[in-house]
Amino acid sequence: MKFIKKLIPVSFKDKLNAFRMRGQNVECNICNRKYVSFMPSGDPLRANAICPSCGSVERTRIYWEYLKGLSGFLTSNIRVLHSAPKPSLFKKFSSIGNFDYHPIDLFQPGYSYPKATRHMDIQDLDYPDNHFDFILSSHVLEHVEDDAKAMKEFYRVLSPGGFGIIMVPIDLSLEETHDDPTNVKPEDRIKAYGQYDHLRMYGRDYQSKLEKAGFKVEANDFSIDLEAADKFRLGFGNGETLFIVRK
C-alpha cells in the first residue's frame, strides 16, 4: 500500500484531500473554498492549518485578510515586492492586473519556485531606491546571515509613503533576539531556533530592530482580537501580530 501511495502524483493527492474534506466549517479567504477543517501542518503538527486546495497557511490567510480590508489597496496601481512568495499569495498577487508585481527568492537546490520569481538576495536587492509601494516578506529574515542589512535594503527600496508587512518567527519569552554564530550544526539550530536552516530566534526586540533600519513600525493585533469562532473558521490559529512598516 505504501508503494502504491508513492506512485500517486502529489497534485492528485491534493485534489483528493480537497474533495474528501469538503464542508462548511472553515473557509479559505484566498481561494474561497470551504471545508470541514483545514489540514494539519508543521512539526509539531498544528491542527486546522493548511488549505487542501491552495496550500495557504494561517499567516498567509491573515496577511490577505488584512490587505483586502485596506481601503483602495487592491484597486491601486502600485509596485509590489514579494520576498519568498508562497504559491497561494503568488497566484493572488499575480492575478491583480493593476499591480506591478515583483516576486523574488534566493534559489536553493531541490526546491521549486513560482514562475516569474527572480533569483535575488534580500541582503543586496537589485532595485533602485524608493522603488516599491508595498513590500511583503514573511519568515525570511531568520534565514539570512545579516538580517540588519536586509532590513536596511527593504527600507532603501520602499518609496516614501509606502508600507510593508515584514514578519519573522518570534519567541515572546525572549527579551532579546537569540543569535549565536557558534550554532552551525543542524541539530544545534533546531534546538536553539526551532529549524535547521534558521540562524536566529527573534525576541521582543524585533520591532526595535526594524526601527533601527529606519522604519516607522505599527504592531497590529487585528487577528488576535477576533472571536475564537472566527479564528477557527478562517484558520488563523491563535492569530498573529502583524508588523506593519512605513517610510
pLDDT for 108: 83
Residue 157 has pLDDT above 60, yes or no: yes
Pick the residue with more confidence: 211 or 20? 211
Question: Is the confidence at residue 185, as pLDDT, over 90?
Answer: no
Show the domain range for 1.
1-56
- With 90 as the cut, is the pLDDT of residue 42 above it? no
Q: Are residues 37 and 65 in the same domain?
A: no
131 vs 185: which has the higher pLDDT: 131
Q: Is the dihedral of CA 175, 180, 183, 186 positive or negative?
A: positive
Indicate if 39 and 85 belong to the same structural domain: no
Confidence of residue 244 (pLDDT cuts 50, 70, 90): very high
Q: What is the mean pLDDT of the chain?
A: 90
Question: Could you say which of 9, 33, 56 is where a domain stops?
Answer: 56
Q: What is the pLDDT of residues 110-126, one digit of tens each?
A: 777 888 999 999 999 99
Q: Residues 14, 122: one domain?
A: no
* Whether 98 and 186 share a structural domain: yes
Average pLDDT over residues 173-183: 92
d(CA 9, CA 155): 42
- 127 lies in the same domain as 90: yes
Pairwise CA distance, residues 206 & 243, whole Å: 9
In 121-231, at which residue ranges do the beta strands (DSSP E only) sit?
Answer: 132-138, 158-167, 216-220
- CATH code assigned at 163: 3.40.50.150
3-state class (DSSP) for residue 116: coil
φ, ψ at 188 (rounded to 5°): -70, -40
Question: What is the rounded CA–CA span in Å between residue 82 and residue 89?
Answer: 9
Share of the chain above pLDDT 90, in %: 77
DSSP H helices, the chain, are 2-7, 10-20, 58-68, 87-94, 147-157, 186-193, 206-212, 228-234
State the pLDDT at residue 41. Answer: 86
As for how many domains the chain has, the answer is 2
pLDDT in tens, 59-102: 999 999 999 999 999 999 999 999 999 999 999 999 999 999 99
pLDDT band at 176 (very low <50, low <70, confident <90, very high): very high
Question: Residues 168, 196: one domain?
Answer: yes
Do residues 93 and 160 share a domain? yes
Q: 204 pLDDT exceeds 90?
A: yes
With cut-offs at 50, 70 and 90, classify the pLDDT of residue 7.
very low
pTM of the model: 0.89
CA 44/CA 31 separation, integer angstroms: 26
pLDDT surpassing 60 at residue 12: no
The whole-number pLDDT of residue 3 equals 38
Q: For position 15, what pLDDT does the model report?
A: 57
- Which of 5-19, 104-118, 135-149, 195-209 shows the lowest mean pLDDT across its residues? 5-19
The pLDDT score that the predictor gives to residue 17 is: 64
> DSSP 3-state assignment of 81?
strand
The pLDDT, as a whole number, for residue 71 is 94
Q: In the predicted model, is pLDDT for residue 1 greater than 90?
A: no
Which of 175, 162, 173, 163 shows the shortest CA–CA distance to 206? 175
Q: How far apart are CA 211 and CA 207, in angstroms?
A: 6
